[in-house]
Amino acid sequence: MEIVDASGGFVERLVNIYSSPHLYHIKKEASRYVKSFFEYHHIKVAKLRKTIADVLFWRVEAEKHHGIMVIDELRIDEKFRRKGFGERLLRASIEDAKTVFGKDGYVLRKTLVTTGEENVAARKLYEKIGFQKSAVLKGLYGKGENELVYILTLNP
């Protein structure tokens, strides 16, 4: 497995992934979704040969001097789940963020991510790396659909 920065050459491949029936049903919506991330996110891709196994979109929250990274999207292809790819991509992205902050003389202090309360696999992954559940957003996306906020503190 190789972890790389996604460039414009990945747009169509990512649009195809996000056009799948369980994500966005309409390719036009998937295209708009993916392209919006290229404008202000850092995008890491874990690939195995030419297959994209995992995708992670992260961004700087507010301004760099706050030292906060937000993971807006972590998608792991079902074929590659529970094989360590997601963990490697998550760790590589955190290291990437440390470098991005450091280039401007800042320190990455915290990493934030959210996941659905029912997503046990994601919760276990985040907790394995050291994230701690810090809040429950009750009914965020609909009645009974609670979203959990996880924070990894690297430097208080």
Q: Is 90 exposed, middle or buried (0-12, 13-18, 19+ CB in 10 A)?
A: buried
Is 82's pLDDT higher than 70?
Answer: yes
Find the domain containing 133 and state its range: 2-153
Q: Which residue has the higher pLDDT, 105 or 40?
A: 105
**What is the domain count for the chain?**
1
pLDDT at 23: 64
Is 149's pLDDT higher than 90?
Answer: yes
Instruction: CATH number of the domain at 47, please.
Output: 3.40.630.30
Contact 126, 113 (CB under 8 A): yes
d(CA 9, CA 131): 32
pLDDT at 16: 82
| pLDDT band at residue 95 under the 50/70/90 scheme | very high
Report CA 123 to chain centroid distance, whole Å: 13
Q: Give tens-digit pLDDT for 51-73.
A: 888 899 999 998 999 999 999 98
pTM attached to this predicted model: 0.87
Is 36's pLDDT higher than 70?
Answer: yes
